[in-house]
Amino acid sequence: MNEYNFAYLDEQTKRMIRRAILKALAVPGYQVPFASREMPMPYGWGTGGVQVSAATLTPDDVFKVIDQGADDTTNAVSIRKFFEKTAGVATTEETGKATIIQTRHRIPEARLRADQILVYQVPIPEPLRFLEPRETETRKMHSLQEYGLMHVKLYEDISQHGAISTAYAYPVRVADRYVMDPSPIPKFDNPKLEMDAIQLFGAGREQRIYALPPHTRVVSLDFEDYPFEASKADHACNLCGAEDSYLDEVITDDAGNRMFVCSDTDYCRSRREAGHQGRLAQEGTA
């Protein structure tokens, strides 16, 4: 017998979170406050994402967790085991088989379907926070759509670096209304935010939930003369040879050698199983 209620949280809490999720879906990009619970993990490890997942899971779901694209890092393994134990749901590493995917800082390379839900772990949900520390003021700015300040940040980037150097957590405008922080995903993933699946964002410490319904218009902010660019390392994956995936740079020794590998481990594995080979595939251990 399982001593936990299904998916750890009690039913009243899940109900409260579901109400927040529904509101978030009704007002795309708006940060809905919710009564975030203490979870058996430290803040910063995905307490927001876990609560959203817990409220979304049903016994028939197939659950997948990725951390920076990988299925096998501490954070991903722990959260997967947590729900295996408390909800008894099936888990998978294959993006295509999962119905709910909790993610930290990446969107899977494979195109998601309408019957899937992507749950993000969010550290700081407020895109204006580092420019305007007062919550009362940022709320007012959202309600009055005063978003000039967001461009001040991009202006500073260009004046200091000659280009928009913000590479992750790149601010977006949702459905021509709210400016939203897409969580610290690389800006390479920003164009993928317009997708068929439901996207839910949970910030546990900051007690906010926000959402993108399927096919919502998401525009990355930019200047007319410095347009948005979804950038990645200018290489092919050394294991699977993919040229269209987001890459991690791995230093392999202290002689300056390095390799580039897909950050999405499932995508890389499935490509290698299909016979694709990168430059270092023979000696590759990953």
Partner 1 sequence: MTPLLQVKGIEKRYGARIGCRDVSFDLYPGEVMGIVGESGSGKSTLLNCLVGHLEPDAGQVIFDTRADGPVDTVTMSEPDRRMLGRTDWAFVHQHARDGLRMSVSAGGNIGERLMAVGSRHYGQIRGQALDWLGRVEIAESRVDDRPSAFSGGMQQRLQIARNLVTGPRLVFMDEPTGGLDVSVQARLLDLLRGLVREMGLSAIIVTHDLAVVRLLADRLMVMKDGEVVEAGLTDQVLDDPQHAYTQLLVSSVLQV
| Interface contacts to partner 1, rule CB under 8 A | 131, 144, 146, 148-149, 151-152, 155-156, 158-160, 222-226
Of 224 and 234, nearer to partner 1 (C-beta) is 224
- Alpha-carbon torsion angle 24, 25, 30, 36, nearest 10: 20
Q: Is 268 a catalytic residue?
A: yes
Q: Is 88 a catalytic residue?
A: no
Q: Which of 48, 69, 202, 262 is catalytic?
A: 262
Q: Is 148 a catalytic residue?
A: no
Residue type, 201: F
Q: How far is the CB of 173 from partner 1 (least distance, A)?
A: 12
Q: Which of 49, 237, 278, 284 is catalytic?
A: 237
Q: Is 237 a catalytic residue?
A: yes
How far, CA to CA in Å, does 142 sit from each of 17, 28, 37, 174, 189? 22, 13, 26, 12, 24
- The token duo for 228 is 């948005």
Of 60 and 225, nearer to partner 1 (C-beta) is 225
> How buried is residue 50: exposed, middle or buried, by Cβ count under 10 Å (0-12/13-18/19+)?
buried
Q: How far is the CB of 128 from partner 1 (least distance, A)?
A: 12
Of 108 and 171, nearer to partner 1 (C-beta) is 171
Q: Which of 148, 240, 241, 256 is catalytic?
A: 240
Give the span between the Cα atoms of 151 and 193, in whole angstroms. 20
Of 4 and 155, nearer to partner 1 (C-beta) is 155
Residue partners of 202: CB distance under 8 A and separation at least 6:
48, 49, 50, 51, 52, 53, 119, 120, 121, 122, 208, 209
Give the span between the Cα atoms of 229 and 170, in whole angstroms. 11
Q: How far is the CB of 151 from partner 1 (least distance, A)?
A: 4
Q: Which of 29, 46, 202, 278 is catalytic?
A: 29
Residue partners of 189: CB distance under 8 A and separation at least 6:
106, 107, 182, 230, 246
Residue type, 96: G
- The answer to whether 111 and 195 have CB atoms below 8 angstroms apart is yes
- Single out the residue of 98, 106, 2 nearest to residue 57, CA to CA: 98
Q: Is 96 a catalytic residue?
A: no
Of 179 and 261, nearer to partner 1 (C-beta) is 179
Q: Which of 48, 204, 268, 278 is catalytic?
A: 268
Q: How far is the CB of 144 from partner 1 (least distance, A)?
A: 5
Q: How far is the CB of 9 from partner 1 (least distance, A)?
A: 39
Pairing of the two strands 247-251 and 258-262: antiparallel
Catalytic residues: 29, 237, 240, 262, 268
